[in-house]
Structure 1
Amino acid sequence: GESFSRRYKLFEFRSSHHSRRRAAQECRDAIRRMAEASPLLSGRSRVHIIVNPVSGHRQGKAYWERVEEIFACTELDYSVTLTERARHAYDLVGPHGSLDLSVLDVIVCIGGDGTISEVVNGIMSRPDRDELMRRLVLGTIPAGSECALAKMMSFVTPLAATWTILKGHRVRPVDLIRISQSRRELFSLCGVGWGLGGKLAEDSEALRATYGPARYLVSGLKSFMNLKGCKGELLITGLRDTESYTKKHGSCAFAASCPVCEEEKKARNEQLVEVKWSGSFVLVAMLKSEKALVPFVHINDGYLDVLAIPEVGKLELLRRSSKILVPQLVGSHIQGSAQAEEDMQDKDFWYIKATSVTLVPESTQDKINVDGEVLDGKSLRMEVLPGQLSMFVAFLEGQEPREATGGGLHEGLRWAQEGLSLLQGTPR
């Protein structure tokens, strides 16, 4: 037979037919059978897809067009909205939204972290949010600049992420961060940044049209050249012994196969302690994703990973950053880091796992980054809501747990090839 890699490119399979048309039809039939076999998408689920066409370098619509025919092959009951403006996704699902969420089972977002953040915040602004969060399942197909959430949950390529959703690998609970500032309440999936994180978000929107996905790099270089610390304090309720916790539990291998994310969250207050960090900081990151900065972050452990770098000179910052950027040193910057203020003398990094954090900047000009949204530098409180969301998580029965940033598209392609071979009865 001849090997065909069709326009779907989610997988490649071997067909006994030399006709491209016949092979393409077999490909469509295989996709449909896989979707029918999915426990979540077995003909009963109603799916709405929200596409942000300007995500990344205005590639959101193009990514949707690449995966649209795959969805069409499944014969799922789905509908699509292309967003037309900022906060359109929020308005669709919010209290006065045009989408009837009572008839939906699944919402899929094609965009960056900001797109799914709008959807979550829209749902959480509704009076029936608790019922919706228990029933709705969310999925993300990355098309943005960073897509930190996709790196934790699934794959960073649209086609492999589509495979995860259509196959219905696993649906698992995911933590959410509740944020209160003045009278405003909002929610975050990825985390909060201050210092460099805030400056990056503030500059990046102005650079979006020119640099697209590269705007974070350009903004980062600009911020580095004008390096200046942000003064303030953090009031933290966190683990008494974070280092022992991270050594015991290690890194997250997706919620579907991670014992930390699967375990019940009980008697947690016995482990907690109140600490205060104060001073001038180059960076403060309070995260539920981004494993480069905080390798021991888990998507459903009930904790927020808090990392801070005190104000230092440019050369010293480069030295410290090398511990984060060099693959052979992954996690070394956290080992032996301080978590109580009295232990912070001469420490490169301050790190703690927390259930809640209050950030108190000295200047309102020191902006705060919440999933790409820029907030004024005013006092802000964060707390973790354990297992608040249900989301698709990449996992296949019988496979070893994988690092969230490992495997990538190649693993997704291999799984898809094996799935098609089994469906067609032609072992590879």
Structure 2
Amino acid sequence: MHRFVIHGITRTRKRPSTWVPCEYIFGHKDLKTCKNWFERLMACINNEGNRPKNLMVFVHPLCGKGRGVRNWDTVAPLFDRAKIKTKVIVTERAGHAYDTLASLSDIELKALDGVVAVGGDGLFNEILNGILSSRYKASYPPTPEGFGYFESDENCEEQIRNGLNCSVRTPDSASTTFPGNSSKCDDHEPLLSTSQPTVLEIPSQNPSKEPCTGDQDHLVSFPNDWFRLGIIPSGSTDAIVLSTTGERDPVTSALLIILGRRMSLDIAQVVRWKSSPTAEVLPTVRYAASFAGYGFYGEVIRESENYRWMGPARYDFSGTMVFLKHRSYEAKVAFLEIPNTNSLTASADDVTGAQPLQSRHKKSRKIICRTNCFVCKEASTSGQNSEDEITDSSRKICENSKWVWSEGRFLSVGAAVISCRNERAPDGLVADAHLSDGFLHLLLIRDCPLPLYLWHLTQFTKKGSDPLSFKFVEHHKTPAFTFISSHDESVWNLDGEIFQACEVSVQACRGLVNLFASGPEV
């Protein structure tokens, strides 16, 4: 009897989001028949255009107490079995992945079907910025009148007359940097000590020049349909993987990559105009895939640097220390209010009383993002597929919306791009945030008594709770917002990376990148 093995996947009823490898053994007494079956099956597999053939893999050796290397050793045989070529790079220093991808020529990038991060959200953020920094040339986020630094630009005069500053120029003068001391989260342990922080500068983004090779025939731009990013979860929280697959399982993520699953993901473009109140205006562009937060969220990451010896536990300890300090920050926030979106707002007078804390606004039914989400599909169908269409979409948003200001003292200012699920917050920061609908969820937590803030934070740990219903919490669904602070007392947290800024503008770039994922099953 001649036999051959077919490798497949199976799922369990209890955990439908978990994919488990399985084997099916077939046999026949005739060898020629077995070979015929085998050749036909291989022909079918080779005809599946979605499956990747060439991948670049970055492995972080120290993330999650060394889980990066162990997890890659576990899933690497699956890629070999699927005949997928992988170029594996074990990172040796902070910014290694960023430096490699930013300097990669477009010819080299086009030879790849995607890039995979074996690490956490921080390593993925480094890869994301390395790819987009010199290849994505969309306009700056829209800003309210009086804020924009290019108000004399001819292209902006009409928007200014209408009370808006929708910059249509590409950020040629922007400085896109990735700090060499970006080891401010568990995913960026510095592996090579340096005498001083290193900043990796990316050349100015000029549409008339090919950023890597000078060959226009090989220009790579985003968004596009063929290039995808993947994550083998190995970090401390793995919020991006949990939000996009529903499971924090390396094997499941590897199988999603091997089978060529594809889904679009919104990305937040963060433009820092000033790093401090006295600093010169120098626009610096960064990208975030999951979250951008100021105040409490930034201080937790900054405080954790003092306790690196504790490992991932330092985040819990640092969070407690920052919580007990109970600091608030004076700031002004302007956001685009879009018709037909629900916002839960609170005034400063609402947060001191002991009356019931549920918002007076009627709750709307939450539509959770799942596999084959109709909200994301609807946005994708009516959305854009190129940089020009992203700019056109931004203009239309400006025309059909108005700026709303919110100012005062805030414990935190945050914007969730996705739900940001993690093991401590099973529903995430915003349970009904979608993966590709073109919106940010702006969370403004006003100053309030410490016990009420604790009550708010504990609601995140309970599945099915509503932590955003408190009166001192503002929740706005918006495509863009602007943040202004007259001090530099705190920092921004971009996917777990520290970003010093006192004036920023942020916008959601709908479906800017594709992931090897299909959305959570549950």
Q: Same fold by TM-score, threshold 0.5 exceeded?
A: yes
Correspondences of 1:194-213 after superposition (within 5 Å): 194-208=294-308, 210-213=309-312
Distance of aligned partners of 1:164 and 1:119 in 2 relative to their CA distance in 1, 3 Å threshold: same
Correspondences of 1:25-40 after superposition (within 5 Å): 36=46, 38-40=48-50
- Match status 1:144 vs 2:228: no
- Match status 1:333 vs 2:462: no
Who is 1:388 aligned against?
512
- Match status 1:252 vs 2:341: no
More helix by share: 1
1:182-224 alpha-carbon deviations (Å, 9 max, x no partner)? 321111111211111001111223433x222222211111111
**d(CA) in 1 for partners of 2:26, 2:377:** 44
**d(CA) in 2 for partners of 1:96, 1:161:** 25
- Match status 1:157 vs 2:249: yes
| Equivalent pair of 1:110/1:143 in contact (CA under 8 Å) | yes
Correspondences of 1:67-106 after superposition (within 5 Å): 67-95=75-103, 100-106=108-114
> How far has the Cα of 1:174 moved from its partner?
1.4
| Equivalent pair of 2:343/2:474 in contact (CA under 8 Å) | no
Distance of aligned partners of 1:94 and 1:316 in 2 relative to their CA distance in 1, 3 Å threshold: same
> How far has the Cα of 1:261 moved from its partner?
4.3
| Equivalent pair of 2:492/2:498 in contact (CA under 8 Å) | yes
**d(CA) in 2 for partners of 1:268, 1:194:** 25
SS at 1:299 equivalent: coil
The correspondence for 1:175, drawn from 260, 266, 269, is 266
**d(CA) in 1 for partners of 2:302, 2:364:** 36
Who is 1:225 aligned against?
324
Distance of aligned partners of 1:234 and 1:82 in 2 relative to their CA distance in 1, 3 Å threshold: same
Q: Which amino acid aligns with 2:313?
A: A
Identity, % of aligned positions: 23
> How far has the Cα of 1:110 moved from its partner?
0.9
> How far has the Cα of 1:172 moved from its partner?
2.1
**d(CA) in 1 for partners of 2:101, 2:443:** 33
Distance of aligned partners of 1:35 and 1:191 in 2 relative to their CA distance in 1, 3 Å threshold: farther
The correspondence for 1:360, drawn from 484, 496, 504, is 484
> How far has the Cα of 1:305 moved from its partner?
0.5
Who is 2:65 aligned against?
57
SS at 2:93 equivalent: coil
Distance of aligned partners of 1:35 and 1:371 in 2 relative to their CA distance in 1, 3 Å threshold: farther
The correspondence for 1:276, drawn from 405, 411, 415, is 405
Q: Which amino acid aligns with 1:80?
A: V
Who is 2:152 aligned against?
none
Distance of aligned partners of 1:99 and 1:230 in 2 relative to their CA distance in 1, 3 Å threshold: farther
> How far has the Cα of 1:161 moved from its partner?
0.9
> How far has the Cα of 1:268 moved from its partner?
4.6
Distance of aligned partners of 1:298 and 1:33 in 2 relative to their CA distance in 1, 3 Å threshold: farther
**d(CA) in 2 for partners of 1:271, 1:98:** 37
**d(CA) in 2 for partners of 1:348, 1:375:** 26
SS at 2:433 equivalent: coil
Q: Which amino acid aligns with 2:334?
A: L
**d(CA) in 2 for partners of 1:148, 1:34:** 35
**d(CA) in 2 for partners of 1:77, 1:96:** 18
> How far has the Cα of 1:297 moved from its partner?
0.9
Distance of aligned partners of 1:116 and 1:191 in 2 relative to their CA distance in 1, 3 Å threshold: same
> How far has the Cα of 1:36 moved from its partner?
5.0
Distance of aligned partners of 1:36 and 1:357 in 2 relative to their CA distance in 1, 3 Å threshold: same
> How far has the Cα of 1:277 moved from its partner?
1.3
Distance of aligned partners of 1:10 and 1:280 in 2 relative to their CA distance in 1, 3 Å threshold: same
**d(CA) in 1 for partners of 2:451, 2:271:** 36
| Equivalent pair of 1:38/1:166 in contact (CA under 8 Å) | no
**d(CA) in 1 for partners of 2:229, 2:45:** 17
More displaced stretch, 308-317 vs 127-136: 127-136
| Equivalent pair of 1:195/1:366 in contact (CA under 8 Å) | yes
| Equivalent pair of 1:57/1:212 in contact (CA under 8 Å) | yes
**d(CA) in 1 for partners of 2:305, 2:25:** 47
Distance of aligned partners of 1:176 and 1:100 in 2 relative to their CA distance in 1, 3 Å threshold: same
> How far has the Cα of 1:384 moved from its partner?
1.2
| Equivalent pair of 1:177/1:384 in contact (CA under 8 Å) | yes
More displaced stretch, 131-140 vs 257-266: 257-266
> How far has the Cα of 1:54 moved from its partner?
1.6
Distance of aligned partners of 1:394 and 1:374 in 2 relative to their CA distance in 1, 3 Å threshold: same
Cα RMSD (Å) of the superposition?
3.2
Distance of aligned partners of 1:103 and 1:151 in 2 relative to their CA distance in 1, 3 Å threshold: same
The correspondence for 2:128, drawn from 120, 125, 128, is 120
Who is 1:307 aligned against?
443
Correspondences of 1:334-353 after superposition (within 5 Å): 334-335=468-469, 347-353=471-477
| Equivalent pair of 2:417/2:508 in contact (CA under 8 Å) | no
Q: Which amino acid aligns with 2:108?
A: D
The correspondence for 2:55, drawn from 39, 47, 55, is 47
Matched positions, count = 364
- Note the residue ranges of structure 2 that are not aligned, 5 or more in a row: 1-18, 28-38, 136-209, 212-218, 274-281, 345-362, 384-392, 421-426
SS at 1:260 equivalent: helix
